[in-house]
Structure 1
Amino acid sequence: MPTDDATDRDGRGSSVEIRTMPAPFFIAEKYVANPVLRRLLRSKLHWLVSNRLMLLSYVGRRSGTRYATPVAYDRREDVLVATTLRHHSNWWKNFREEHPATVWLRGVRRKTTGLATTNAREIAEFVRSSLVRYGVERARWLGLNVEGEDPPSVEELETVADELVVVRFSVDDLEPVFQPLHIKEEEFSNRFGTELPS
Protein backbone atom coordinates (compact mmCIF):
# COMPACT_ATOMS: atom_id res chain seq x y z
CA MET A 1 0.00 0.00 0.00
CA PRO A 2 1.46 3.40 -0.90
CA THR A 3 2.18 5.83 1.86
CA ASP A 4 2.07 9.60 1.77
CA ASP A 5 5.12 11.83 1.97
CA ALA A 6 4.88 12.26 5.74
CA THR A 7 4.96 8.55 6.65
CA ASP A 8 7.80 6.11 6.14
CA ARG A 9 7.53 2.42 5.39
CA ASP A 10 7.58 1.52 9.10
CA GLY A 11 4.58 3.72 9.80
CA ARG A 12 6.60 6.36 11.64
CA GLY A 13 5.23 9.77 10.68
CA SER A 14 6.68 13.26 10.83
CA SER A 15 5.15 16.25 12.55
CA VAL A 16 6.44 19.79 12.69
CA GLU A 17 5.95 22.81 14.92
CA ILE A 18 7.64 26.09 15.71
CA ARG A 19 10.21 25.86 18.50
CA THR A 20 8.99 27.75 21.53
CA MET A 21 11.70 29.44 23.55
CA PRO A 22 11.27 31.23 26.89
CA ALA A 23 11.81 34.99 26.96
CA PRO A 24 15.12 34.69 28.89
CA PHE A 25 16.54 32.75 25.94
CA PHE A 26 16.06 35.70 23.58
CA ILE A 27 17.49 38.12 26.14
CA ALA A 28 20.58 35.95 26.56
CA GLU A 29 20.88 35.60 22.80
CA LYS A 30 20.74 39.37 22.25
CA TYR A 31 23.02 40.51 25.06
CA VAL A 32 25.38 37.55 25.52
CA ALA A 33 25.52 35.17 22.56
CA ASN A 34 25.25 37.67 19.70
CA PRO A 35 28.10 39.96 20.86
CA VAL A 36 30.37 36.93 21.26
CA LEU A 37 29.40 35.56 17.85
CA ARG A 38 29.92 38.92 16.15
CA ARG A 39 33.52 38.96 17.33
CA LEU A 40 34.06 35.29 16.56
CA LEU A 41 32.72 35.45 13.01
CA ARG A 42 35.14 38.29 12.19
CA SER A 43 38.12 36.55 13.77
CA LYS A 44 40.54 33.81 12.71
CA LEU A 45 38.54 31.44 14.90
CA HIS A 46 35.43 31.89 12.73
CA TRP A 47 35.72 28.23 11.65
CA LEU A 48 34.29 27.20 15.01
CA VAL A 49 30.84 28.40 13.93
CA SER A 50 31.03 29.64 10.34
CA ASN A 51 29.94 26.38 8.75
CA ARG A 52 26.39 27.30 9.82
CA LEU A 53 26.50 30.95 10.85
CA MET A 54 27.44 34.13 9.00
CA LEU A 55 27.57 37.72 10.19
CA LEU A 56 25.07 39.96 8.38
CA SER A 57 25.74 43.71 8.37
CA TYR A 58 23.26 46.20 6.90
CA VAL A 59 21.99 49.77 7.23
CA GLY A 60 18.44 50.08 8.54
CA ARG A 61 16.07 51.50 5.93
CA ARG A 62 14.37 53.88 8.35
CA SER A 63 16.99 54.51 11.02
CA GLY A 64 20.07 54.78 8.82
CA THR A 65 21.90 52.90 11.59
CA ARG A 66 24.28 50.06 10.73
CA TYR A 67 23.45 46.74 12.40
CA ALA A 68 25.33 43.45 12.55
CA THR A 69 23.63 40.21 13.49
CA PRO A 70 24.68 36.53 13.30
CA VAL A 71 22.29 34.47 11.20
CA ALA A 72 22.12 30.80 10.26
CA TYR A 73 22.53 30.24 6.54
CA ASP A 74 22.38 27.61 3.84
CA ARG A 75 24.38 27.94 0.64
CA ARG A 76 22.74 27.22 -2.71
CA GLU A 77 25.17 27.79 -5.58
CA ASP A 78 25.94 31.55 -5.48
CA VAL A 79 23.06 32.36 -3.12
CA LEU A 80 23.09 32.36 0.68
CA VAL A 81 19.71 31.64 2.23
CA ALA A 82 18.81 32.62 5.79
CA THR A 83 15.68 31.58 7.66
CA THR A 84 14.33 33.35 10.72
CA LEU A 85 11.26 33.36 12.93
CA ARG A 86 9.07 36.21 11.73
CA HIS A 87 7.92 37.49 15.12
CA HIS A 88 11.19 37.03 17.03
CA SER A 89 13.46 39.11 14.79
CA ASN A 90 13.21 42.39 12.92
CA TRP A 91 16.29 42.38 10.70
CA TRP A 92 14.48 40.65 7.82
CA LYS A 93 12.05 43.57 7.45
CA ASN A 94 14.84 45.62 5.87
CA PHE A 95 14.88 43.11 3.00
CA ARG A 96 11.21 43.13 2.05
CA GLU A 97 12.55 44.87 -1.04
CA GLU A 98 16.06 44.33 -2.42
CA HIS A 99 18.56 45.91 -0.04
CA PRO A 100 22.39 45.95 -0.01
CA ALA A 101 24.28 44.30 2.82
CA THR A 102 27.64 42.87 3.78
CA VAL A 103 28.26 39.36 5.08
CA TRP A 104 31.24 37.87 6.85
CA LEU A 105 31.23 34.36 5.39
CA ARG A 106 33.86 31.92 6.63
CA GLY A 107 36.05 34.82 7.67
CA VAL A 108 35.76 36.74 4.38
CA ARG A 109 33.84 40.00 3.98
CA ARG A 110 31.59 40.09 0.93
CA LYS A 111 29.04 42.48 -0.52
CA THR A 112 25.57 41.13 -1.19
CA THR A 113 21.97 42.04 -1.89
CA GLY A 114 19.15 40.50 0.15
CA LEU A 115 15.48 39.90 -0.65
CA ALA A 116 12.94 38.34 1.71
CA THR A 117 9.99 36.15 0.89
CA THR A 118 7.00 35.51 3.15
CA ASN A 119 5.23 33.28 0.62
CA ALA A 120 4.21 30.16 2.56
CA ARG A 121 4.67 27.73 -0.34
CA GLU A 122 8.15 29.00 -1.21
CA ILE A 123 9.21 28.87 2.43
CA ALA A 124 7.85 25.34 2.85
CA GLU A 125 9.68 24.18 -0.30
CA PHE A 126 12.96 25.67 0.89
CA VAL A 127 12.67 24.17 4.38
CA ARG A 128 11.75 20.81 2.90
CA SER A 129 14.78 20.89 0.58
CA SER A 130 17.06 21.76 3.52
CA LEU A 131 15.77 18.88 5.62
CA VAL A 132 16.13 16.48 2.68
CA ARG A 133 19.65 17.72 2.05
CA TYR A 134 21.01 17.76 5.59
CA GLY A 135 18.61 15.64 7.65
CA VAL A 136 15.84 16.52 10.08
CA GLU A 137 18.35 17.57 12.75
CA ARG A 138 18.76 20.74 10.66
CA ALA A 139 15.25 21.77 11.72
CA ARG A 140 16.35 23.39 14.96
CA TRP A 141 18.58 25.80 13.00
CA LEU A 142 15.45 26.82 11.12
CA GLY A 143 13.41 27.44 14.28
CA LEU A 144 11.45 24.19 14.09
CA ASN A 145 10.85 21.02 16.05
CA VAL A 146 10.33 17.93 13.89
CA GLU A 147 9.19 14.58 15.22
CA GLY A 148 9.97 11.48 13.23
CA GLU A 149 12.90 10.43 11.12
CA ASP A 150 11.67 11.69 7.76
CA PRO A 151 11.37 15.31 6.60
CA PRO A 152 7.79 16.61 6.78
CA SER A 153 5.97 17.13 3.50
CA VAL A 154 5.70 20.54 1.87
CA GLU A 155 2.03 20.57 2.82
CA GLU A 156 2.87 19.97 6.49
CA LEU A 157 5.51 22.66 6.44
CA GLU A 158 3.05 25.13 4.94
CA THR A 159 1.11 24.96 8.21
CA VAL A 160 3.99 26.66 10.05
CA ALA A 161 5.45 28.66 7.15
CA ASP A 162 3.57 31.82 8.11
CA GLU A 163 5.78 31.95 11.22
CA LEU A 164 8.96 31.93 9.13
CA VAL A 165 10.75 34.22 6.69
CA VAL A 166 13.33 33.20 4.10
CA VAL A 167 15.86 35.78 2.89
CA ARG A 168 18.06 35.15 -0.14
CA PHE A 169 21.42 36.92 -0.40
CA SER A 170 23.02 37.05 -3.84
CA VAL A 171 26.82 36.98 -3.84
CA ASP A 172 28.71 37.19 -7.15
CA ASP A 173 32.19 36.08 -6.14
CA LEU A 174 31.67 32.96 -4.04
CA GLU A 175 34.24 30.21 -4.51
CA PRO A 176 32.93 26.95 -5.99
CA VAL A 177 31.77 24.28 -3.56
CA PHE A 178 34.07 21.26 -3.74
CA GLN A 179 32.70 19.11 -0.93
CA PRO A 180 29.98 16.61 -1.87
CA LEU A 181 26.42 17.45 -0.92
CA HIS A 182 24.70 14.98 1.38
CA ILE A 183 21.40 14.69 -0.43
CA LYS A 184 19.31 11.93 1.09
CA GLU A 185 16.74 11.45 -1.65
CA GLU A 186 16.13 12.52 -5.22
CA GLU A 187 14.21 15.69 -4.53
CA PHE A 188 15.48 18.88 -6.05
CA SER A 189 14.12 22.39 -6.47
CA ASN A 190 15.19 24.74 -9.25
CA ARG A 191 14.00 27.65 -7.17
CA PHE A 192 16.58 26.95 -4.48
CA GLY A 193 19.38 25.55 -6.64
CA THR A 194 19.35 21.99 -5.31
CA GLU A 195 19.30 20.13 -8.63
CA LEU A 196 22.27 17.91 -9.38
CA PRO A 197 24.47 18.70 -12.40
CA SER A 198 23.91 16.39 -15.33
Structure 2
Amino acid sequence: MAIKNVHDSWKKQGFTLLEIMVSIGIVAVVGVLISQVFFTTTRSNAKSEVLKNVKQNGDFSLERIYQLVRNATEVTSTCAEGGTSSSSITLTNPDGESTSLGCLLDGTVTRIASVSASTTEYLTDSALTLGGADCNASSLTFVCTMPAGQPATVAIIFSLAQKGTPPDQFDRASASFQTTAAIRNAKQ
Protein backbone atom coordinates (compact mmCIF):
# COMPACT_ATOMS: atom_id res chain seq x y z
CA MET A 1 0.00 0.00 0.00
CA ALA A 2 2.87 2.39 0.69
CA ILE A 3 4.10 2.03 -2.85
CA LYS A 4 0.69 2.92 -4.27
CA ASN A 5 0.49 6.17 -2.21
CA VAL A 6 3.91 7.29 -3.46
CA HIS A 7 2.84 6.59 -7.05
CA ASP A 8 -0.44 8.53 -6.67
CA SER A 9 1.24 11.54 -5.04
CA TRP A 10 3.80 11.72 -7.88
CA LYS A 11 1.02 12.08 -10.45
CA LYS A 12 -0.43 15.08 -8.61
CA GLN A 13 2.84 17.07 -8.51
CA GLY A 14 2.77 18.35 -12.15
CA PHE A 15 2.27 21.99 -13.24
CA THR A 16 -1.07 23.46 -14.13
CA LEU A 17 -1.67 25.14 -17.48
CA LEU A 18 -1.87 28.53 -15.75
CA GLU A 19 1.53 28.08 -14.10
CA ILE A 20 3.11 27.13 -17.42
CA MET A 21 1.56 30.17 -19.19
CA VAL A 22 2.78 32.56 -16.45
CA SER A 23 6.33 31.21 -16.61
CA ILE A 24 6.38 31.43 -20.43
CA GLY A 25 5.16 35.04 -20.19
CA ILE A 26 7.89 35.96 -17.71
CA VAL A 27 10.59 34.34 -19.87
CA ALA A 28 9.25 36.19 -22.96
CA VAL A 29 9.32 39.60 -21.21
CA VAL A 30 12.85 39.01 -19.91
CA GLY A 31 13.94 37.87 -23.41
CA VAL A 32 12.56 41.04 -25.02
CA LEU A 33 14.31 43.24 -22.45
CA ILE A 34 17.63 41.47 -22.96
CA SER A 35 17.39 41.76 -26.77
CA GLN A 36 16.57 45.49 -26.54
CA VAL A 37 19.58 46.11 -24.31
CA PHE A 38 21.76 44.15 -26.75
CA PHE A 39 20.58 46.08 -29.83
CA THR A 40 20.82 49.45 -28.08
CA THR A 41 24.38 48.69 -26.99
CA THR A 42 25.35 47.53 -30.48
CA ARG A 43 23.84 50.64 -32.06
CA SER A 44 25.56 53.01 -29.66
CA ASN A 45 28.90 51.24 -30.20
CA ALA A 46 28.54 51.62 -33.97
CA LYS A 47 27.79 55.34 -33.61
CA SER A 48 30.77 55.74 -31.27
CA GLU A 49 33.06 54.20 -33.90
CA VAL A 50 31.75 56.50 -36.65
CA LEU A 51 31.99 59.54 -34.36
CA LYS A 52 35.57 58.56 -33.47
CA ASN A 53 36.40 58.40 -37.19
CA VAL A 54 34.80 61.83 -37.75
CA LYS A 55 36.80 63.35 -34.86
CA GLN A 56 40.10 61.78 -35.96
CA ASN A 57 39.67 62.95 -39.57
CA GLY A 58 38.61 66.43 -38.52
CA ASP A 59 41.49 66.79 -36.08
CA PHE A 60 43.97 65.56 -38.70
CA SER A 61 42.61 67.93 -41.36
CA LEU A 62 42.57 70.87 -38.99
CA GLU A 63 46.14 70.22 -37.83
CA ARG A 64 47.39 69.75 -41.41
CA ILE A 65 45.75 72.98 -42.61
CA TYR A 66 47.05 74.80 -39.51
CA GLN A 67 50.62 73.65 -40.24
CA LEU A 68 50.39 74.64 -43.92
CA VAL A 69 49.15 78.13 -42.98
CA ARG A 70 51.76 78.56 -40.21
CA ASN A 71 54.61 77.56 -42.52
CA ALA A 72 53.42 79.63 -45.52
CA THR A 73 55.22 82.82 -46.49
CA GLU A 74 52.08 84.58 -47.71
CA VAL A 75 48.41 84.23 -48.57
CA THR A 76 48.07 84.84 -52.31
CA SER A 77 44.28 84.73 -52.41
CA THR A 78 42.22 87.73 -51.29
CA CYS A 79 43.02 88.80 -47.74
CA ALA A 80 41.88 92.14 -46.29
CA GLU A 81 42.26 94.05 -43.05
CA GLY A 82 38.58 93.58 -42.21
CA GLY A 83 38.62 89.89 -43.09
CA THR A 84 37.74 88.05 -46.28
CA SER A 85 35.68 84.86 -46.27
CA SER A 86 35.95 82.18 -48.97
CA SER A 87 35.66 78.43 -49.47
CA SER A 88 39.31 78.09 -50.55
CA ILE A 89 42.64 79.72 -49.90
CA THR A 90 45.95 79.79 -51.78
CA LEU A 91 49.24 79.94 -49.90
CA THR A 92 52.86 80.35 -50.97
CA ASN A 93 55.07 77.72 -49.36
CA PRO A 94 58.64 78.42 -48.15
CA ASP A 95 59.94 76.69 -51.31
CA GLY A 96 58.07 79.21 -53.48
CA GLU A 97 55.41 76.74 -54.68
CA SER A 98 51.71 77.46 -54.28
CA THR A 99 49.27 75.27 -52.37
CA SER A 100 45.51 75.68 -52.57
CA LEU A 101 43.36 74.42 -49.74
CA GLY A 102 39.66 73.90 -50.22
CA CYS A 103 36.76 71.62 -50.85
CA LEU A 104 36.93 69.18 -53.77
CA LEU A 105 34.18 66.95 -55.08
CA ASP A 106 35.52 63.37 -55.12
CA GLY A 107 32.82 61.43 -56.95
CA THR A 108 29.78 62.19 -54.82
CA VAL A 109 31.69 63.12 -51.67
CA THR A 110 32.82 66.64 -50.77
CA ARG A 111 36.28 66.41 -49.17
CA ILE A 112 38.95 68.79 -47.92
CA ALA A 113 41.99 68.73 -50.20
CA SER A 114 45.40 70.31 -50.52
CA VAL A 115 46.32 70.90 -54.16
CA SER A 116 49.94 71.65 -55.08
CA ALA A 117 51.64 71.85 -58.48
CA SER A 118 51.28 68.17 -59.33
CA THR A 119 49.60 66.51 -56.37
CA THR A 120 46.21 66.46 -54.74
CA GLU A 121 46.19 65.30 -51.13
CA TYR A 122 42.78 64.57 -49.64
CA LEU A 123 42.77 65.44 -45.96
CA THR A 124 39.51 63.67 -45.12
CA ASP A 125 38.33 60.09 -45.50
CA SER A 126 36.04 59.14 -48.40
CA ALA A 127 33.52 57.79 -45.84
CA LEU A 128 33.01 61.35 -44.56
CA THR A 129 31.65 64.46 -46.20
CA LEU A 130 31.67 68.20 -45.65
CA GLY A 131 27.94 68.03 -46.35
CA GLY A 132 25.90 68.79 -49.39
CA ALA A 133 26.43 67.77 -52.97
CA ASP A 134 28.65 70.72 -53.82
CA CYS A 135 31.42 72.77 -52.29
CA ASN A 136 30.29 76.13 -50.97
CA ALA A 137 31.24 78.57 -48.25
CA SER A 138 28.94 76.86 -45.73
CA SER A 139 30.90 73.58 -46.09
CA LEU A 140 34.38 74.93 -45.50
CA THR A 141 35.25 78.52 -44.69
CA PHE A 142 38.56 80.33 -44.58
CA VAL A 143 38.44 83.84 -43.10
CA CYS A 144 41.66 85.66 -43.94
CA THR A 145 42.48 88.82 -42.00
CA MET A 146 45.56 90.96 -42.63
CA PRO A 147 45.94 93.68 -39.98
CA ALA A 148 48.21 96.56 -41.00
CA GLY A 149 51.87 95.76 -40.35
CA GLN A 150 51.17 92.20 -39.13
CA PRO A 151 51.18 88.78 -40.77
CA ALA A 152 47.92 87.39 -42.09
CA THR A 153 45.75 85.25 -39.82
CA VAL A 154 43.43 82.60 -41.21
CA ALA A 155 40.39 81.23 -39.39
CA ILE A 156 39.50 77.71 -40.55
CA ILE A 157 35.92 76.54 -40.00
CA PHE A 158 34.26 73.33 -41.21
CA SER A 159 31.96 70.48 -40.21
CA LEU A 160 32.39 66.81 -41.06
CA ALA A 161 29.66 64.18 -41.10
CA GLN A 162 29.36 60.57 -42.06
CA LYS A 163 28.50 59.93 -45.70
CA GLY A 164 24.85 59.17 -46.41
CA THR A 165 21.89 59.72 -44.15
CA PRO A 166 21.16 57.15 -41.46
CA PRO A 167 17.48 56.24 -41.02
CA ASP A 168 17.43 57.69 -37.51
CA GLN A 169 18.68 61.29 -37.27
CA PHE A 170 20.06 60.57 -33.77
CA ASP A 171 22.48 58.10 -35.37
CA ARG A 172 24.08 60.76 -37.58
CA ALA A 173 27.66 61.36 -36.52
CA SER A 174 29.00 64.84 -37.19
CA ALA A 175 31.36 67.33 -35.60
CA SER A 176 32.40 70.95 -36.13
CA PHE A 177 35.98 72.14 -36.19
CA GLN A 178 37.51 75.60 -35.93
CA THR A 179 40.89 77.17 -35.32
CA THR A 180 42.92 80.22 -36.26
CA ALA A 181 46.49 80.23 -37.58
CA ALA A 182 48.87 83.11 -38.22
CA ILE A 183 51.51 83.01 -40.92
CA ARG A 184 54.86 82.59 -39.19
CA ASN A 185 57.24 82.95 -42.14
CA ALA A 186 55.77 86.11 -43.67
CA LYS A 187 57.91 87.95 -46.20
CA GLN A 188 59.21 91.22 -44.82
Q: TM-score, normalised by structure 1?
A: 0.23
Q: Which has the higher helix share?
A: 2
Q: TM-score, normalised by structure 2?
A: 0.24
Higher relative contact order (CA 8 A, sep 6+): 1
Greater gyration radius: 2
